[in-house]
Chain A
């Protein structure tokens, strides 16, 4: 009896240990990824004041120093709790010199090299003093904010294994004079440039997955057509000029196809076509409005808006149009879905109170969470490439629309750009290629 009881007890203990260690390992892994749901896990990181050797401490555009911008980028990455300590060059051989509570140290030296100003960045594991990476960035003169952004993204990638967003850009529609044009701006609001000068109405820009092209709706020919724009040279190519409305383009993740809402057969339906606008294949067949499609990141499914039940709500179907099913039952109107590049969440807006608010949900419609409340009416939420941030347009009562960036739970809202006109229809670039191509 005694021995069997002891056996059972030890078996229970063993199972408990196994479960706990499995859970612990999983938690640790998720913690490293910084994706533990509902918790605010952050890596602690210290950005020391940079050393400036034989160079002036020229402030960046906007007045910040390089280290101040690096701290802000890392803070805004949502992965780090950024600390600032007195500057010193740590001696990797002497680990007692390291401040204990900090996990990572980022250092920088700005100096001249072959007549050019460069930033030498170095990330250290604070506990071991081990160099995680060392990279040289061409800072230029006047110093370029994007060199610091590049350092920030490298830190994010080395620590978390994920791509940062500091180098990403956001396209949007801005009202300038009497026209609605497409603009492009850095993720932190700097580097604003106007991409179109059509003097007409441009709407709904969307980046291709490689970030090299934008598709958008243009009224330049009198009615809604689809156009693509190559970011490398700004050249525009007609994508679809069918009769009726050609609108709401969304790229397939492999860049070979575009889904859109077309009305050339009489009613607004979802179609997919190749990236030259040919071979349009109809996916929906209902007398209702179908629009605002968005592919899942694996390209297998499409979320879209349909009012086939009388009110506009979100539906999802296979990318060949099969297995259409309703996804949201929230409020009087849910719309404008965007599938996270990580695949795990869909962001959308729903009319629940007075205005539209931002929600996220799992791709099967479960686990819905609200990101905004009692703070104006929101439109067109779009994921950042990291799947952790959202950009969206807010229309304040009696005012015009303004773009805000926030984390997926609605935290840390900041106005994106100092552009003064009405601004809406944002899209967040996805890849590094774009950033270099437009440089």
Chain B
């Protein structure tokens, strides 16, 4: 698959994710982003319309997309017409919110560290073990962090199933797992803070597996 094809696939997936989601932003009761985060890294980039997009990807495309991003994507290209994503991309819940021009999906998540290229990682239901795709993404995240000195917050999140209290703990365990992995990779533990929002800040406000798979995540935020 050429780089251009990979980009098209990504943009398609991205467009289908975003449209209903931006509507929700105005309607639901999600807690606003903390000011400290808004003032953090990449805040200017986040105001760019083209950056207010989330992307859903086939896991097999993750690496290709990464390459495409490093290759420099066309920033002005309009997303193609909305087409339904494949069932595969729904079920994997893989998502890059961070590379190059793609920015984060501005969806109630705090800003991702767009400049550092840190990617969200995803988990199975009621699990905090790192899936294969999560390990790959964490490897990339760790590599990025090794080059800098900034402090990063790892936000653990859960889907809405289960109880408030258990999910708070589960979210923290996910953040800890990701943190431990990156520390093993060589990132200084003093640069990695973990917090948990449990099920209180869903990325996708929906109530189905597609939304849930997006919400069981660790999200990276500039301190």
Contacts and interface: CB of A to CB of B under 8 A. Distances in A.
Contact of A289 (B30, B161, B170, B207): B170
Interface in A18-70: none
B162 interface: yes
A178 B32 contact: yes
B160 A292 contact: no
B165 A292 contact: yes
Interface string A399-425: 100000000000000000000011011
A142 interface: no
Given A333-B162, A424-B164, A175 B29 contact: yes
A289 B30 CA distance: 26
Interface string B197-215: 1101000000110000000
Interface residues of B, number: 26
Nearest to B156: A245
A73 interface: no
Nearest to B36: A222
A429 interface: no
Interface string A171-211: 00001111110000000000000000000110110000000
10 contacts: A178-B32, A203-B165, A203-B168, A224-B168, A245-B196, A289-B173, A305-B165, A305-B166, A333-B162, A349-B163
B31 interface: yes
Given A222-B34, A289-B166, A377 B29 contact: no
Nearest to A380: B163
A379 B164 contact: yes
A125 interface: no
B17 interface: no
B55 to A, nearest CB: 25
Contacts, number: 101
Contacts of A177: 29
B168 A247 contact: yes
A377 to B, nearest CB: 7
Interface string A364-384: 000000000000010110000
B172 interface: yes
Given A201-B197, A263-B172, A377-B161, A397 B207 contact: yes
Given A203-B200, A289-B173, A379-B163, A179 B29 contact: yes
Interface of B: 29-32, 34, 126, 160-166, 168-170, 172-173, 176, 195-198, 200, 207-208
A395 B200 CA distance: 15
B219 to A, nearest CB: 14
A204 B198 CA distance: 12
Contacts of B196: 223-224, 245
Contacts of B168: 203, 217, 224, 245, 247-248, 261, 291
B126 A312 contact: yes
Contacts of B176: 266
B211 to A, nearest CB: 10
Contacts of B30: 178
Given A349-B163, A380-B164, A398-B207, A200 B169 contact: no
A335 B163 contact: yes
A311 B126 CA distance: 8
A321 interface: no
Contact of A261 (B31, B162, B165, B207): B165
Contact of A336 (B161, B163, B198, B200): B163
A399 B31 contact: no
A268 interface: yes
Given A223-B195, A398-B207, A204 B165 contact: yes
Nearest to B206: A398
Contacts of B29: 175-180, 421-422
Nearest to A250: B165
A253 interface: no
A245 B200 contact: no
B169 A245 contact: yes
A396 B168 CA distance: 22
A90 interface: no
Nearest to A289: B169
Contact of A333 (B31, B126, B164, B198): B126
